[in-house]
Amino acid sequence: MSHSSAVRWLRPSTDPASEPRWGHHAGMQIGIPPIPGPRGLLRVFTPYLEHHRERLVNFIAVEPIPQGVDERGYSEMEQSTLDPGAQGKRLWSSDDVEAAEDASSSTVARGVIETAGGVETLTVWIGVERFDNGADVRVRVRFFADRPHEVEVAGFANARSVALSNLILTATMGNWARLRRLHLADRTVMPRELWPDFSGTAFTAHGRFPWPSSLATAQRWS
């Protein structure tokens, strides 16, 4: 590995207790538990925004939908079967696809440095505990040397998974910066209007909206 690569990339050491966190030293970074926070979620860090090292800017959840059903799995909400009594699916890291499918893997991966299209990349695979709906998936996280403020995430079904119609990777912390908008039939509602005095990071009380039969337009979040 070149000196420039060592300076550019943040990677775990070979110590089994090393923090599972990857990315650009001076750019975007991705981590997984046991970094503090809910289980079942990838952590997104942006220290280049002058955040202190442990400040999270977002989470990424894994939400697979099997063919023939509408209900999705929720990586942070489902109970773990590998760690009984814990909420949230177990995540682990690997440097190759095969290990990403092995839930017994306990070694923290360093990530693989290679070149794609003339650009140096850092790639790590994230294994995800099997979902209650039979989905069995993995996530590829890839950073590009020429794009320090970006990360590529892609989801794949493992061989033992039920057939999927969708595998959704979704950012979950729009509420952290109060970014979400709910488009109702007759108006748009924003968090700062619903909970003007709320400043925490946990879930708020539910917002409830009557939906008269005359208002047939669907609701959507953005």
82 vs 89: CA distance, rounded Å: 8
Question: What's this model's pTM, rounded to 2 decimal places?
Answer: 0.80
pLDDT of 201 above 50: yes
Q: If DSSP codes are grouped into helix, strand and coil, which group holds residue 18? A: coil
d(CA 53, CA 32) in angstroms, rounded, equals 15
Q: Rounded to an integer, what distance in angstroms lies between the CA atom of residue 164 and that of residue 142?
A: 23
Q: How many domains does the chain have?
A: 2
Residue 107 and residue 16 in contact, taking contact as beta carbons nearer than 8 Å: yes
Q: Which amino acid is at 167?
A: L
Question: What's the pLDDT tens digit per position in 13-70?
Answer: 988 889 999 999 989 999 999 999 999 999 999 999 998 888 888 899 999 999 999 8
Q: Tens digits of per-residue pLDDT, 141-177?
A: 999 999 999 999 999 999 999 999 999 998 876 555 6
Question: Contact, 101 vs 89, CB < 8 A?
Answer: no
Domain around 30: 3-171
Note whether 207 and 109 are same-domain residues: no
Boundary (domain end) residue, out of 171, 195, 214: 171
